[in-house]
Structure 1
């Protein structure tokens, strides 16, 4: 099988190339990738090269395919797995394998398995660990985004609370409680809002803070407060950019009690400290954002740790059950991971988009691997549509969908763009 893929050779060395895949073995599966969303973790691997803990030392001689937030179709199934998987099935994949103590992971470590490719081979350990996940929903983009959504879901499950006099930890956010999502108008924050509104342990209040007015306005359009009210929740967006006393203002919104659950979505010292100061009794602060500084630290009030039972948890990634929850909720249209997506591109744009990820506008970049297309912001479709009727049609479709990517837009793209 001939494939085209973006491969990592070393630091800042990504190349789109065509090459032949070997015949699959009886314990492997051949798949066609349709979509792959770009993760900051892939950027870290690309700039570190073989210094990254998951990238093999011989990448210069045996390059690896990047990308791990993938979805597509099963093409050919090895004999070992024919009772479980069939050609034509849609799939998503959990990349965090943790196979026999190895750090190897699709998108970082494999010559023939990564999301930025047209065709790839799933190694047997993916199936053995239950990480090749069937998907029955509309479109492919939602299945790609199940991986980042699983990280969000995992954080909600990892938060915990206690009862005075008991050592039992009750897992999850407080049902009917007060939830704050700080620096929460970015892509992952939007996913966190969506999950909070539709999960099985809904809070009674959600306060979302950010310093970017444009991002906050977009969030308010996607998640109208009146719709949240119909679901029994008060949803409040707050721009803290020029606010003198952010913790004081946020605590006042709770009636002075503080928040039961606080999620911090940016590795910024003042934001972490704000989160600590707005915790109520038995409040849990979840530090979601992953810093690149190994010495990153912030001031925490340990008086409150001792007397107010406040506590801190950090999560990185979700497990397979979290990802399955994301897929099932998406299939039932309970959540829409498209809230995270701001840019669409083809495989030819994947390498540059990955290497320039930190300097690009916030939002998920979604790559369709079987087309050629310059990475384009959804809000630029209308302008490009003045000279390109295909962009005009995408603008029309997304405009009627609150400016969000959707199955109709994906279908039109796959049917009309250059292959």
Structure 2
């Protein structure tokens, strides 16, 4: 079985190659990859190469396949797993294995297992740990995006609150409480809004801040506050904090001065972290979601409030398998729409460059369909490109009917028609 895949040979050395996969062993599974969304973690692995903790030191002679936000179809099942998996089933992947203390992970460490490929082999530890997940939804991209959504979900579960007079901790955000998502109009922030509006511990108020008016306007188009209030009973407020001389005072005024029960920080910026600390209410939880690259990153915290106001800080990196299962089930039931994160779509030929230039071209999630060749293209540019390419014109028509979002209909059209 031949596969076509993007492989990492060293620092900034990604190559799109075709090569032969070995026959699977009795404890392995062969899969066809259909979609893979690009993660900033893949960029970090590509930049660091063998200096990355998960990338093998000998990747220059034994290159690994990148990509870990992946979904597709099961093609062949080893004898060990015949009772659990069937040929033709759709799958999603939880890449955070932590197998027997090893850092090895799909998309970072394996010669034959990664998302930026047409076909891949799932090693036995993926199935042993329950990380090859059944998926019954309509669209492949939704299963790919279950991984980043699981990171968002995990953070919501990790937030906690205390009980006055006892040492009991109550996990999760406060139901019916006041929630702020700072720097939250980016792709992961949009996912966080979607989950907050539809999870089983919904807040009564969600305030989303950013300093980019265009991103805030797009967010308000995807989540119109009037519709949210009507359908969900939640007050959704978008705030451009750059417009206020004292943004902390304004944000607190939205809570009548009481402050917020839960604050998520979606950018590793000192001023944003400190702003989050200052708007916490009593027993408020500051969840530092954004992963900094600076190992010395720090910010001021009001310890008077820690002592007398019971404020506290928590952080997570990634989600677990249960978080991913929750993401998949909510997506299958149409409770959340991971497409809010997607701004670009392309083929496997665009994956290497899109990965290496990820920070240079700020955008939402970039979605790769591994079975086609297509330049990485912004959904917002479909209409213009449609003037010379009828496929882009059709995709523009479909996404325009869907508030400018990628969707199952667009995916189906792309997979059935691109290249014809």
Please give the range of the TM-score, normalised by the shorter of the 2 chains: over 0.9
Residue aligned with 1:190, SS: helix
- How far apart, in 2, do the equivalents of 1:418 and 1:373 lie? 9
Taking the aligned partners of 2:219 and 2:95, their CA distance within structure 1 comes to 29
Structure 2: how far apart are the matches of 1:85 and 1:43? 32
In the superposition, the TM-score normalised over structure 2's length comes to 0.99
Unaligned runs of 5+ in 1: none
Between the aligned partners of 2:410 and 2:354, the Cα distance in structure 1 is 21
Residue deviations 1:46-100 (CA, integer Å, cap 9, x gap): 0000000000000000000000000000000000000000000000000000000
* Structure 2 SS opposite 1:333: coil
Q: Which residues of 2 match residues 223-242 of structure 1 at below 5 A?
A: 223-230=223-230, 231-242=232-243
Summarize the alignment of residues 172-321 of structure 1 with structure 2, pairs less than 5 Å apart: 172-230=172-230, 231-321=232-322
Q: CA deviation at 1:111?
A: 0.2
State the Cα distance separating 1:306 from its structure 2 match: 0.4
Q: Distance in 2 between matches of 1:339 and 1:114?
A: 24
Counterpart for residue 416 of structure 1: 417
The CA RMSD over aligned residues, in Å, is: 0.6
Return the alpha-carbon distance in structure 1 between the equivalents of residues 334 and 206 of structure 2: 21
Alignment partner of 1:332 is 2:333: yes
How many residue pairs were aligned? 419
The equivalent of 1:155 in structure 2 is 155
- Per-residue deviation at 1:112? 0.1
- Cα deviation for residue 418 of structure 1 reads 2.4
SS, match of residue 105 in structure 2: coil
- CA-CA distance at 1:362 after TM superposition: 2.0
- Cα distance in 1 for partners of 2:151, 2:391 equals 34
**Distance in 2, Cα, partners of 1:369 & 1:78:** 24
Residues in 2 aligned to 1:13 and 1:100: alpha-carbon distance in whole angstroms: 30
Aligned residue number for residue 8 of structure 2: 8
**What residue in structure 2 maps to residue 137 of structure 1?**
137
Gaps of 5+ in 2: none
Relative to the length of structure 1, the TM-score reads: 0.99
State the Cα deviation string for residues 13-60 of structure 1 (Å, max 9, x = none): 000000000000000000000000000000000000000000000000
Aligned to 1:349: 350
Measure how far apart 1:265 and its partner are.
0.2
What secondary structure is seen at the aligned counterpart in 1 of 2:243? coil
Deviations 1:235-277 (A, max 9, x none): 0000112321111110000111000000000000000000000
SS in 2 for 1:371: coil
Q: Which residue of 2 aligns with 1:397?
A: 398
> Partners in 1 of 2:187 and 2:166 — Cα distance?
37
| Runs of 4+ in structure 1 over 6 Å off | none
Deviations 1:262-297 (CA, angstroms, capped at 9, x unpaired): 000000000000000000000000000000000000
TM-aligned CA deviation for residue 361 of structure 1: 2.4
* Equivalence map 1:24-39=2 (5 Å): 24-39=24-39
Distance 1:84 1:17 in 2: 32
State the secondary structure of the residue aligned to 1:343: strand
Inter-partner Cα distance in structure 2 for 1:222 and 1:246: 24
Rounded to whole Å, the distance in 2 between the matches of 1:416 and 1:358 is 31
Measure, in 2, the Cα distance between the counterparts of 1:212 and 1:418.
Answer: 37
| Cα distance in 1, alignment partners of residues 333 and 253 from structure 2 | 37
Residue equivalent to 2:324? 323
| Residues 331-388 of structure 1: per-residue CA shift (max 9 Å, x gap) | 0000000000000000000000000000112200000000000000000000000111
